[in-house]
Structure 1
């Protein structure tokens, strides 16, 4: 009899069930993260969906299921970077990205101060924006941010400090 050293395969539906459960629990937080990074909800929805599709494809290769959320979060950040890179290339060829037109209802809900912060946040360099969004909107700690962005925790702290200084300057709150 031939000996097989590979682990037994999961039942066919197990990966779908686990990824679906993770999606239901965390999709809104990941969607908010993507919206803050790319600037519009339809694109953010695509980024989040792609992240979960990638997670599903790679589920069998995950060494630790506990890191599935970190994988999805990193995929959302990387997918958002790809979108922004494509927009940048398009701009070089004279094709400008048209930001979404906010409805009157959403304008009324979103206060003027918050809107100013969001506009200033979009003007920050990519890494600063990502660190601030992950820290203050996603509520992640330095180690989690470092893992999601592939940088050292000390870089997270430095980038956050510089990002906050730049954000204050953009908002005219520098003392």
Structure 2
């Protein structure tokens, strides 16, 4: 991990307890998702990108929208968009950045539609995560994931991109379409809210 990312994190929360919990939990999920398959020699195809990055993108979407089936749809839509824009991309790195941004934007759209629908239909609680996924988490990790799901979407997005996605402030700023200063202040507010939620 580079020093810039470590400094980014230290500025978010002086005591760091909520931050350590988020980092442990989302790092644990990243580990559970395993190492991406080795990249083939030569230029990457769309199929290669799908094999290498699909599962991590699905987990990213699950952490943002709370529903595995919806997360799968968001990721599928991101790959469809990548297919449509394949000729405009310079290299594999820009393709991965495109996919990550598409998943974040697709998740935002889902949350907006969900909020609109709830204004017309009485809200109901949906147990979104698969039983096997939660069963594999310790009670500490489960409480962190549950607290994350209660954060406002932008705050959850910044923490998930930072601690699950492993992105720097600059990368989060680019993916989320917000300034670096907003990334920093949003992360700080999110960690404070998470600390309160986990202490209650």
TM-score with structure 1 length normalisation? 0.82
Do structure 1's residue 84 and structure 2's residue 111 form an aligned pair?
yes
Q: Which 10-residue stretch deviates more, 88-97 or 148-157? A: 88-97
Q: How does 1:113-124 map to 2 (within 5 A)?
A: 113-124=140-151
Give 1:22's match in structure 2, choosing from 49, 57, 63.
49
Q: Structure 1: where are the runs of 5+ without partners?
A: 1-16
Select between 57-66 and 38-47 the one with higher mean Cα deviation.
Answer: 57-66
Q: Could you tell me how far apart the structure 1 residues matched to 2:168 and 2:140 are?
A: 25
Match of 1:128 in 2: 155
Unaligned segments of structure 2, at least 5 residues: 1-43
- Is residue 2:48 matched to residue 1:48? no
- Runs ≥4 in structure 1, deviation > 4 angstroms? 101-107
Supply the distance in 2 between the matched residues of 1:75 and 1:122 (Cα, whole angstroms): 20
Structure 2 residue 127 is matched with structure 1 residue 137: no
The CA deviation at 1:96 is 3.4
Kindly report the root-mean-square deviation, in angstroms, between the aligned alpha carbons of the 2 structures: 1.9
Q: 1:109 aligns with which of 136, 141, 157?
A: 136
The aligned counterpart of 1:6 is none
Bigger CA radius of gyration: 1
8 Å contact from structure 1 (residues 70, 148) kept in 2: yes
Q: 1:160 to 1:115 in 2, by over 3 A?
A: same
